[in-house]
Amino acid sequence: MTSETKSNLARLGLMIAVYLILAARIPSYYSQPGIAALLDSAVLAGIIAIGVGLTMIAGEMDLSVGSMAAFAGILSIQLFPYGMVPALVIVVLFCGLLGALQGYCIYKLNISSMVFTIGTLIALRGLTLVVSNEKTVLIPFENIAETDFLSAKFFVFSIPSATLLVLVLLVDFFSRRTLWGREIFAIGGGRGEARAAGVSIRRPIIVAFSISAALAGLAGALLSFRTGSASPLGFEAVLLEAVTACLIGGIALAGGRGSILGVLIGLFTIRFLVSGIAALGAPFWMQSLATGALLIFVIIAEAAIGYVTRRRRMARALTA
Amino acid sequence: MLRMSGIVKSYGPTRVLEDVDLAVEAGEVMALMGENGAGKSTLVKILAGIEPADGGTISIDGATVSIRSPGHAQAAGIGYVAQELSIVESLSVAENVFLGDETLGFFRSAASLARRAKPYLARVGLDHIDPLSLAEEHSVAERQLVEIARLLSRKARIAILDEPTAALSETEIVRVKAAVRTLAAEGCAIIYVTHRMPEVFDLTQKVTVLRNGKSFPAVETAGLSIGDLIEAMLGRQLGQMFPPRAAHAGEEILRLDACRASGLKAPVSLSLRRGEILALAGQVGSGAGAVLRMLAGVTPIQSGSVTLEGSAYAPSGIAGSIARKVLYCSDDRKRDGIFAVRSVPENLSAPALSAVSRFGLLSPALEGEHVTRIARQFGLGERFLGRLAGNLSGGNQQKVALGKWIGLDPKILLVEEPTRGVDVGARSEIYNNLRNLADEGLSIIFASSDTQEVLGLADRIASFFHGELVRICNADDVTAESLTRDVTRASEAA
């Protein structure tokens, strides 16, 4: 068993433990509608976390996803008259293109993506306000029923939550089993080393940021369709939850380590905890407190395990 | 097979290469030697497509090729193993073998990469390691071999190895040498950049020497002596490399009684006199470095006692040893020897900030005085003072790493591998600097795996093997053969 598998299993164990502890107190945790609601609550942050996680694996970080989602929300509602599917496709492609441009700039200017995406985070928010005339946009009342199928449940899945799971599998496959995906891991694990080995730096950065932006766009559009409206000021808090999911899911801030499946595990660990605390009727601040405590617990545990492994490896090297 | 002729390269106004010629045949290992700054790295970077040449031609099998990027070089069959490893630690060994290789198709699985990597790993003597394990789980030497496996996998016809053994111990070097021979046996033309003389004579058929950006015609290694080679590189004789030993040593300043620390398998007892240079000879992991780290307070003294100038000495951490004026210069200068992104003066004054301050504020005048004094002592020219430490050559970096401690007026200087990755010219300067300091009353203990250095520099030699002190002798009573026997005792017993 590789150390990566072990670490993912430990995280899975933590997620199941959080679920079981709360399920013992909350009956809805094992009812069909309850599980469906849990899945649905994870869609927004989940789809966005996949993209953010990919940029983190590349040793970068896309902070602009919240504004990108808001921009996509406004755009998708405005394009709604052309049909939902065309609107969705156009929005996702356009966001992907913006992301590719963003990645190209980060590569070309050779600046920290944190700095660059703080810029686009603010600028895109402004653009969104311009495009929306600073107003919340709505799907016309007579058409609102057309989006009902997005809330329909098949067993425990809705279309958005099924989309999340399919995307996780697809991007996980992409990151582990394709040349482009492995390049993202390579430049995140050692930028200079990868360059010296002949790995292109430009392509993986563009690909990671493009996927991140496209997924943020998809999440923004899906959620806006489901609610039938989009606010230019929406999706502000989602970045933090997405990054937390990545960190709890084992994606290293330094890059090169972690997996998209891990992100899903991290995401549901948070969702189980937060929804459970809400269902228990605890005040809102308890949710933040618990999420923060969970993240710190995971990070300390990682550090402790890392320390022990390094010591063992060193001891082995000395005796060898 | 490969012919480079009339290669010219300038960085701004400074001309680094003037009219350099070089030729290698298939199946041949050619050493490329020269002092740091002679242009070796620039020359191989031009060939690897990392730096463009300003003029000259490169031809392979008689056909002129244009190499403008690493991609061109790869397409031309040129593989480059840089001084800094290009192994991504967080990827598996198999992925590292095929890193940057786009010919395997878009889809790839860990298992298929591992299967394909196996034969290449076997050929460099890594058949025992699991290709799916992460690169970070393996030693530096093994990662070096993974790089050579990468060259094999790319069917490189020309391989450039830039100091592949600089960070390795003697036993590990044997493995790298074997892999290089495999590469040559398969018809690869190899350019082997190194500072280590034994490898040149052991491994290579021809030597091309660069001096001040000019090349000398290649000569057969078989007809060469070490003296000739050094003379060609430096334009001076070998005898000047090491300064004469101390005329007399002072009173005892440091005594170790049955000391144990992590990395030592048996207690060590030693003594050191004022103005003496003591060598701890041994390979990596022999315990020679462990004694230094213990004295520096990096690792705790587990048992036994240390006496410094008559009073007990048990430093708790580096700050403790600095307070007693026992200063330690580690073998990893990139990590903890220099502040790579700070200027040379800042590096030199960093440990002595309180001495160059007035009323808690830095005094530029005092700092300047301090820096100039050290720079003069260590032969760091005026032109280096404005540069970032990380941009200096290995030799000058080492002078900075050592020099910064001198400003604290140390009693004992502990140096691990004083000239690792340092060219011959700077080496001899560093030896002279250390000897001058010792003559002024500083006591020096250095750990080294370089036999020549131990024999040439030390007054007394303590040899270590496998965590144990083997013996302590006066340097005059030790020969290269007896020392090698001491530090490799096991291989003899086997």
Residue range B471-484: average pLDDT? 83
Give strand pairing partners of B220: B206
Residue of A177, A179, A316 to mutate when probing chain B, most B C-beta within 10 A: A179
Q: Provide the residue range defining the domain that includes A254.
A: 3-319
Residues of B with Cβ-Cβ distance to A199 under 8 angstroms? 99-100
Q: Where are the alpha helices (DSSP H) in B48-108?
A: 70-75, 93-97
Residue type, A190: G
Task: Report which secondary-structure segment, H or E, holds B220.
Answer: strand B219-220
Residue of A195, A198, A256 with shortest CB distance to B74: A198
Max avg pLDDT among A84-88, A279-283, B173-177, B234-238? A84-88
Cβ neighbours of A310 (radius 10 Å): 11
Residue B122 C-alpha, separation from nearest chain A C-alpha, in angstroms: 20
Closest residue in A to B84 (Cα) is A193
pLDDT at B420: 80
Per the model's pLDDT, the better-predicted residue between B113 and A311 turns out to be B113
> What is the three-class DSSP state of B272?
strand
Pairing status of strand B460-465 against strand B277-281: parallel
pLDDT band at residue B341 under the 50/70/90 scheme: confident
pLDDT at B236: 53
B110 contacts A178? CB cut-off 8 A:
no
pLDDT band at residue A122 under the 50/70/90 scheme: very high
pLDDT band at residue A318 under the 50/70/90 scheme: low
pLDDT at B242 over 70: yes
Max avg pLDDT among A216-220, B203-207, B342-346? A216-220
A139, A241 Cβ separation under 8 angstroms: no
ipTM at complex level = 0.88
Cβ of A177 under 8 Å from any chain B Cβ?
yes
The total of structural domains in chain A comes to 1
Residue range B92-104: average pLDDT? 90
Least confident piece of the model among A81-95, A200-214, A303-317, B431-445:
A303-317
Cβ of A207 under 8 Å from any chain B Cβ?
no
Residue range A53-82: average pLDDT? 96
pLDDT at A56 over 50: yes
B91 contacts A197? CB cut-off 8 A:
no
Residue of B86, B263, B285 with shortest CB distance to A196: B86
Residue of B99, B150, B286 to mutate when probing chain A, most A C-beta within 10 A: B99
Residues of B with Cβ-Cβ distance to A207 under 8 angstroms? none
pLDDT at A320 over 60: no
Residue of A177, A192, A194 with shortest CB distance to B99: A194
Cβ of A148 under 8 Å from any chain B Cβ?
no
B108 contacts A177? CB cut-off 8 A:
yes
Say how many residues make up chain B.
Answer: 494
B85 contacts A193? CB cut-off 8 A:
yes
Sequence-distant (6+) residues with CB within 8 A of B73 are B47, B48, B49, B67, B80
pLDDT at A212: 98
Residue extent(s) of CATH 3.40.50.300 domains in chain B: 2-240, 252-493
B285, B296 Cβ separation under 8 angstroms: no
Cβ of B106 under 8 Å from any chain A Cβ?
yes
In chain B, the percentage of residues whose pLDDT exceeds 70 is 95
Q: Which two tokens stand for residue A228?
A: 């039938």
What are the strands, taking DSSP E only, across B368-491? Answer: 412-416, 443-448, 460-465, 468-474
Residue of B80, B84, B89 with shortest CB distance to A189: B89
pLDDT at B249: 76
pLDDT band at residue B492 under the 50/70/90 scheme: very low
For A3-24, what is each residue's pLDDT tens digit? 778 888 999 999 999 999 999 9
A190 contacts B139? CB cut-off 8 A:
no
pLDDT at B133 over 70: yes
pLDDT band at residue A317 under the 50/70/90 scheme: low
User: What single-letter DSSP state applies at residue B23?
Assistant: E
Q: B412 phi and psi, to 5 degrees?
A: -130, 135
Cβ of B110 under 8 Å from any chain A Cβ?
yes
Residues of A with Cβ-Cβ distance to B137 under 8 angstroms? 313
A197 contacts B150? CB cut-off 8 A:
yes
Cα of first residue to Cα of last residue in chain B, in angstroms, is: 42
Cβ of A309 under 8 Å from any chain B Cβ?
no
Residue range A206-229: average pLDDT? 96
Sequence-distant (6+) residues with CB within 8 A of A90 are A75, A79, A82
What are the strands, taking DSSP E only, across A81-164? Answer: 137-138, 153-154, 157-158
- How far apart CA A162 and CA A160 sit, in angstroms, is 5
Cβ of B105 under 8 Å from any chain A Cβ?
yes
* Confidence (pTM): 0.77
pLDDT band at residue B491 under the 50/70/90 scheme: very low
- How far apart CA B94 and CA A182 sit, in angstroms, is 12
Q: Which two tokens stand for residue B180?
A: 């290089």
pLDDT at B234 over 70: no
pLDDT at B494: 37
pLDDT at B87 over 70: yes
pLDDT at B276: 92
Give the closest residue to A257 by CA, choosing from B115, B135, B121.
Answer: B135
- How far apart CA A217 and CA A228 sit, in angstroms, is 16
- How far apart CA B109 and CA B112 sit, in angstroms, is 5
pLDDT at B317: 86
B91 contacts A185? CB cut-off 8 A:
yes
> What is the three-class DSSP state of B343?
strand
Residue of A183, A185, A191, A193 to mutate when probing chain B, most B C-beta within 10 A: A193
Closest residue in A to B86 (Cα) is A193
Long-range contacts of residues B427-430, Cβ cutoff 8 Å, at least 24 apart: B427/B241, B427/B395, B427/B453, B428/B240, B428/B241, B428/B242, B429/B378, B429/B379, B429/B395, B429/B399, B430/B395, B430/B398, B430/B399, B430/B402
Domain B2-240 is found in CATH 3.40.50.2300: no
Q: A158 phi and psi, to 5 degrees?
A: -105, 170
* Interface list for A 72-91 with B (CB within 8 A): none
pLDDT at A140 over 60: yes
Cα distances (Å, whole numbers) of residue A280 to A17, A99, A126, B231, B291: 17, 40, 39, 83, 60
Cβ of B228 under 8 Å from any chain A Cβ?
no
A190 contacts B88? CB cut-off 8 A:
yes
B272, B445 Cβ separation under 8 angstroms: yes
CATH number of the domain within which A44 lies: 1.10.3470
Cβ pairs A/B, distance under 8 A: 80
B67, B57 Cβ separation under 8 angstroms: no
Residue type, A60: E
Task: Report which secondary-structure segment, H or E, holds B56.
Answer: strand B55-60
Residue of A179, A256, A317 with shortest CB distance to B90: A256
For A176-204, what is each residue's pLDDT tens digit? 999 999 999 999 999 988 888 888 899 99
Residues of A with Cβ-Cβ distance to B263 under 8 angstroms? 318
Closest residue in A to B142 (Cα) is A317
Which single residue is written with the structure tokens 């799916």? Answer: B132
Burial (0-12, 13-18, 19+ Cβ within 10 Å), B209: buried
pLDDT at B283 over 80: no
Regarding the domain delimited by B252-493, which CATH topology (the fold level of the hierarchy) does it fall under?
Answer: Rossmann fold (3.40.50)
pLDDT at B287: 85
Residues of B with Cβ-Cβ distance to A3 under 8 angstroms? 134
* Interface list for B 240-269 with A (CB within 8 A): 263
* Helix (H), strand (E) counts: chain A: 13, 4
What are the strands of the beta sheet with B311-312, ordered from one edge? Answer: B268-273, B252-260, B303-308, B311-312
* Interface list for B 58-77 with A (CB within 8 A): 70-71, 74
Q: What is the mean pLDDT of chain B?
A: 86
Cβ of B100 under 8 Å from any chain A Cβ?
yes
Residue B289 C-alpha, separation from nearest chain A C-alpha, in angstroms: 12
A2 contacts B86? CB cut-off 8 A:
no
Region for B21 from its dihedrals, namely left if φ exceeds 0, alpha if ψ lies in -120 to 50, beta otherwise: beta
Residue of A179, A189, A317 with shortest CB distance to B88: A189
Max avg pLDDT among A257-261, B175-179, B344-348, B489-493? A257-261
Residue B29 C-alpha, separation from nearest chain A C-alpha, in angstroms: 22
Q: Which two tokens stand for residue B387?
A: 């540069």
B133 contacts A179? CB cut-off 8 A:
no
Closest residue in A to B137 (Cα) is A313
Per the model's pLDDT, the better-predicted residue between A239 and B35 turns out to be A239
B227-255 burial code (b ≥16 CB/10 A, e <16): eebbebbbeeebeebbbebeeebeeebbb
A177 contacts B87? CB cut-off 8 A:
no
For B204-216, what is each residue's pLDDT tens digit? 999 999 887 888 8
Cβ of A250 under 8 Å from any chain B Cβ?
no
